[in-house]
Structure 1
């Protein structure tokens, strides 16, 4: 495949640090790159040989190994390699080999040196990139706390855009946080300056508050670096403020991130964002099993794996909503699309159906509802095309029951809490795992807070929810055995979902209700319950360890099935485990059962 200079220029615009160059400099640099195709397994450059320069992956994947053949890294779309930090006196200290058919851009050593000399951003990027490769730093496992700039520059909403421009120039930054009293109100970027001030001819004394982006998307410092990357790619933003307990504590921009080790999931998100149909997205989501195998094989913790996989589902949902509005026009009233179930909790694995709903503004008319039914069918059909099959229980926005105005949703939760019959308990269990995906998030914020307050104060409702949660029990048999399924397709197997993970998920939901905790992720709920005193430190430690053991076993089982060319599921033959593994897994089930009993008796819930 021959690439034109224009194609290379467009590609470089999407990759840091090349995106920091002025247009003329970028065009010149693009002309210095050459494109070469490498067949899977072919060597790009060899250890202990003269290094041919800097490489950039346009398509495909590359494995880098050291002089002993040990893997240094697996690289994919937009990753650079071969830079001078991996050289010794001009000789390569690694070997790069194409893992699949790849198209690679190359910049010769002299051109690379000129690039570094001309660009401070390039020098900073490749200096840091070398350090990360040396220490095997993983973006997927890094917390935002370790990546963010801890002293973000701020201005007040009544400051002039002239003053803001001077601040950005003096500090050589591309954005300012806008706040008052330590609270974030908005964000101002150089793009805002160009598109809103210069392009519209606004005067220099225009207040920042008039052009800033209000209520920007934020993340907490406990989020993952990959969360930032996925948010930037899926929402097409380049700056993410970091907020803790309502206070601004940091800022992350595109220049603060690399795609090392997160490239596979980032690549999927990139293709989903550019897709023009559900069929195109289905080609991307078909690679989710491979993503799961890669993430599990790389030693990522289960909560990292499931979060990255869920991010793909979120990106598909967002893109389908965009395509729906392109086809049907803008929504007649504000709405909010929410996910529940495993997507809501950000706990999707290789086996997931869809669970979703719509909250509509109270001004919605009967005529407006026809629009939202078309939108819901478009999105749910698209999700099904992408492998997120229709919910067997019809818990989807296509069901008119789950596509209602906010006032109806308030009535739903009020009825479930005040009259907790079996159906209400089941529905509340699903709907207390709601997470906003796209739309007007204010439609859910007040509802969530009011519902948690009401639920926590109703001891009868909590007791019913507790009893409902105990219906899923760990598979423990007599005489230190494991109780397997007695008949049917999965006879003599363990159900690692309903008898393994779900009991812990149910306990986490109960602790969240009792403690008015807004997190929906199960592990986060348990950690927050322990921090808030709703769960004893020892109980939390044991339960988290047990949950990790069960969830890791489930993911490793799914990865093993995928590698065998089979569809992943949630079942496991105990005989496939070693004696030690069976013993540890049983111990984990015992912990869960003990915590269930303690919670049912009123012990272990309060420390």
Structure 2
């Protein structure tokens, strides 16, 4: 009769290396020798210097932290499918780390004696164990190993990058050359037939000079030299040469310094080796096609929203390139947000041109929600508002009517370039969100003084606003009013904290992902609601408790909090890392799925991706614990 338990163990182990490299028979044989170990939360598996166990471990359910007790820090966090406790197998020594469960955990204990034969007979198994034994931690709490989460991979500016003008320039590898004794007429005919603007002049197979269409205009068309003269009489010499690995900045600097429009690229960068390419100013402009500065100029010159829509594709291509090259998420977000802001400003300007008259009073266009936080990297729906200067009561309807018409042009334009209309109609084209400074003061005061469910929900969206266009003083005055009101009614922060704790947990029993139980996204994981929003909501209430209104970005809020509260700096920095990691993960998923990236099909994720997600969940739990204690949430529930 088949051993059902060992069969289940084999079925689990075959999904993870190194066991995935074993044959079915080998795996079933080994599984019969495996022991099942149950540990409660905060239980020791082994201590530092403890005598080696006769087995190593695989996490079946739960999580085990590996601690360096002398440094009081977690060096690694082992999740489902992870192996640990390899020292007695690899080095036959006592343990140098402490293994302790982070939660209720089930382990599979693999007997070393029974596993040794597979190491000797299977090179892939042996290699995996050696690499695992020597691998570095990716734990954000470990100061010596920070920077390895999804959102914090170090960027090497010398790498082949598309970041600004550090990128390598594309050049023509088809070098058209002529001998220095060729006639100018023959060279002109070659340039015409091949549709090129320059010809390399060689002597003995090496670059000796260059003739461009500018030379033909200035030296031949003017009659300075006859058409049958030799190339060497009008060529520019010596040529300026560079190696093939050339950045846009280097190319631009060389052309400006020497007042030339072409560079010759040679094997070693000198005139003493063969030419392998030619670079023109036109090539540089083509290379700059996905450069943020070029995109900004193009957007600002747009004559209509359709032109902006076309350029937005370039912004998305830029985003894909940054993600592919692991550009830090904070920098990626800043660049894409700046480009999005330029698009919004241009839409507002084009909308103003459609109005019959100038605005009657000062106004500001506010971006809210993810765009207000500088976290809207993908094309999602609009959340915006229009704030205008106070007017006499008898002028209000007329003034609001003007701005409602303007707002409809703006929201329609934003929709054209890729921002969907807000399903809840939280847009400046709605009279509720097209109001005077006094009107918004009255509205926000009501939210703070009488924080019901609807008022808190509106606060979580509106209080993340940023000025996208218009008058700074109006926005400053509104922000100051909100902070002053919260100071008078601090109980509002407790209600806001309670809302931050209302988001469903990312995981359930044994840290399994909690997925949607019904509806369109049944069995999918809601990355926004279960992972990102708890961090966003926590950052908002904490930063408001310090009366800070000029920072709306979530990870920047946490970084500011780390400065304001040094005793909690570790958890705030961890939250900052986690937020960037999750946003990068969501953006990648959204680009792959061509949607907002909110709902994740877990079956399409690899083990490493699932582990990276789960590592952020511990941080979410800790920051929610801090909120619960600080704001005494239980008293408002």
| Same fold, judged at TM 0.5 (above) | yes
Out of 370, 379, 384, the residue aligned to residue 415 of structure 2 is 384
Question: 1:574 and 2:605 equivalent?
Answer: no
Question: 1:89 and 2:270 equivalent?
Answer: yes
Question: 1:312 and 2:336 equivalent?
Answer: no
- Cα distance change of structure 1 residues 541 and 327 upon mapping to structure 2, 3 Å threshold: closer
Task: Provide the residue aligned with 2:616 in structure 1.
Answer: 588
Superposed, 1:274-285 pairs within 5 Å as 274-285=301-312
- Cα distance change of structure 1 residues 261 and 274 upon mapping to structure 2, 3 Å threshold: closer
The whole-number CA distance in structure 2 between the counterparts of 1:589 and 1:36 is 64
Question: What do residues 399-446 of structure 1 show as CA deviations (whole Å, max 9, x unaligned)?
Answer: 011111111111111111101011110111111111112111101112
The Cα of 1:261 is off from its aligned counterpart by 8.5
Question: What do residues 142-190 of structure 1 show as CA deviations (whole Å, max 9, x unaligned)?
Answer: xxxxxxxxxxxxxxxxxxxxxxxxxxxxxxxxxxxxxxxxxxxxxxxxx
Report the 3-state secondary structure (helix = DSSP H, G, I; strand = E; otherwise coil) of the residue aligned with 1:404.
Answer: strand
Higher relative contact order (CA 8 A, sep 6+): 2
Q: How many aligned positions are there?
A: 397
Question: 1:301 and 2:328 equivalent?
Answer: yes
The whole-number CA distance in structure 2 between the counterparts of 1:260 and 1:106 is 6
- Cα distance change of structure 1 residues 367 and 97 upon mapping to structure 2, 3 Å threshold: farther
The Cα of 1:353 is off from its aligned counterpart by 1.3
Task: Provide the residue aligned with 2:235 in structure 1.
Answer: none
Task: Provide the residue aligned with 2:133 in structure 1.
Answer: none
The whole-number CA distance in structure 2 between the counterparts of 1:77 and 1:338 is 41
Task: Provide the residue aligned with 1:105 in structure 2.
Answer: 282
Task: Provide the residue aligned with 2:537 in structure 1.
Answer: 506
Task: Provide the residue aligned with 1:495 in structure 2.
Answer: 526
Out of 492, 510, 516, the residue aligned to residue 461 of structure 1 is 492
The Cα of 1:460 is off from its aligned counterpart by 1.3
Task: Provide the residue aligned with 2:479 in structure 1.
Answer: 448
Deviates more, 1:340-349 or 1:583-592: 583-592
Question: 1:394 and 2:433 equivalent?
Answer: no
- Cα distance change of structure 1 residues 464 and 90 upon mapping to structure 2, 3 Å threshold: same
Task: Provide the residue aligned with 1:547 in structure 2.
Answer: 579
Question: What do residues 302-326 of structure 1 show as CA deviations (whole Å, max 9, x unaligned)?
Answer: 2222332222321122112222222
Question: 1:337 and 2:518 equivalent?
Answer: no
Deviates more, 1:591-600 or 1:72-81: 72-81
The whole-number CA distance in structure 1 between the counterparts of 2:591 and 2:206 is 37
Contact 2:385 2:434 in 1 (8 A): yes
Task: Provide the residue aligned with 2:140 in structure 1.
Answer: none
Question: 1:265 and 2:296 equivalent?
Answer: no
Question: What do residues 375-398 of structure 1 show as CA deviations (whole Å, max 9, x unaligned)?
Answer: 101111000001111111111110
The Cα of 1:93 is off from its aligned counterpart by 10
TM-score (norm 2): 0.55
RMSD: 4.1
Question: 1:417 and 2:444 equivalent?
Answer: no
Contact 1:529 1:535 in 2 (8 A): no
Task: Provide the residue aligned with 2:627 in structure 1.
Answer: 599
Report the 3-state secondary structure (helix = DSSP H, G, I; strand = E; otherwise coil) of the residue aligned with 2:620.
Answer: helix
Contact 2:555 2:575 in 1 (8 A): no
Task: Provide the residue aligned with 2:469 in structure 1.
Answer: 438
The whole-number CA distance in structure 2 between the counterparts of 1:447 and 1:37 is 66
The Cα of 1:577 is off from its aligned counterpart by 3.1
TM-score (norm 1): 0.58
The Cα of 1:283 is off from its aligned counterpart by 1.4
The whole-number CA distance in structure 1 between the counterparts of 2:489 and 2:272 is 71
Contact 1:475 1:500 in 2 (8 A): yes
Question: What do residues 43-83 of structure 1 show as CA deviations (whole Å, max 9, x unaligned)?
Answer: x9xxx98498899xxxxxxxxx976xxx7668999998876
Contact 2:363 2:387 in 1 (8 A): yes
The whole-number CA distance in structure 2 between the counterparts of 1:488 and 1:423 is 24
Task: Provide the residue aligned with 2:563 in structure 1.
Answer: 531
Contact 2:587 2:596 in 1 (8 A): no
The Cα of 1:266 is off from its aligned counterpart by 2.6
Contact 2:571 2:622 in 1 (8 A): no
Contact 2:561 2:569 in 1 (8 A): no
Report the 3-state secondary structure (helix = DSSP H, G, I; strand = E; otherwise coil) of the residue aligned with 2:391.
Answer: coil
Unmatched 5+ residue regions in structure 1? 1-14, 16-34, 56-64, 108-257
Contact 2:290 2:317 in 1 (8 A): no
- Cα distance change of structure 1 residues 371 and 386 upon mapping to structure 2, 3 Å threshold: same
Question: What do residues 330-370 of structure 1 show as CA deviations (whole Å, max 9, x unaligned)?
Answer: 11111111111111111112232111111111126222222
The whole-number CA distance in structure 1 between the counterparts of 2:385 and 2:535 is 24
The whole-number CA distance in structure 1 between the counterparts of 2:596 and 2:274 is 39
